[in-house]
Amino acid sequence: MSNPLVSKKWLLARMYEPHMVIADCRFQLGAPEAGRAAYAESHIPGAIYLDLESDLSAPVAEHGGRHPLPDPEVLAKRLSQVGISNDSVVVAYDDQGGMNASRLWMLLRWLGHDQVYIMDEGFSAWQQDGYPVTAEQQVVIPSSFQPALHDELIADVNYVRSAIGNPDVLLVDSRESPRYLGQTEPIDAKAGHIPSAINAFWKNNLDDTGKWAPEEQRRAGLSEVINALDAGLEVIVYCGSGVSACPNIVALHSLGYFNVRLYAGSWSDWISYPDNPVATGRE
Cite the active site residues.
239
CB atoms < 10 A from the CB of 42, how many?
A: 14
Distance CA 170, CA 168 (A): 7
Beta-strand ranges (E) seen in the chain are: 5-6, 20-24, 48-49, 89-93, 116-119, 154-155, 169-173, 198-199, 234-238, 260-263
CB atoms < 10 A from the CB of 164, how many?
A: 15
Number of residues that make up the chain: 283
List, in sequence order, every residue forming a beta bridge with 90; answer none if it has no partner: 21, 116
Distance CA 203, CA 180 (A): 14
Distance CA 268, CA 253 (A): 25
Distance CA 254, CA 251 (A): 5
Strand order in the sheet with 89-93: 5-6, 116-119, 89-93, 20-24, 48-49
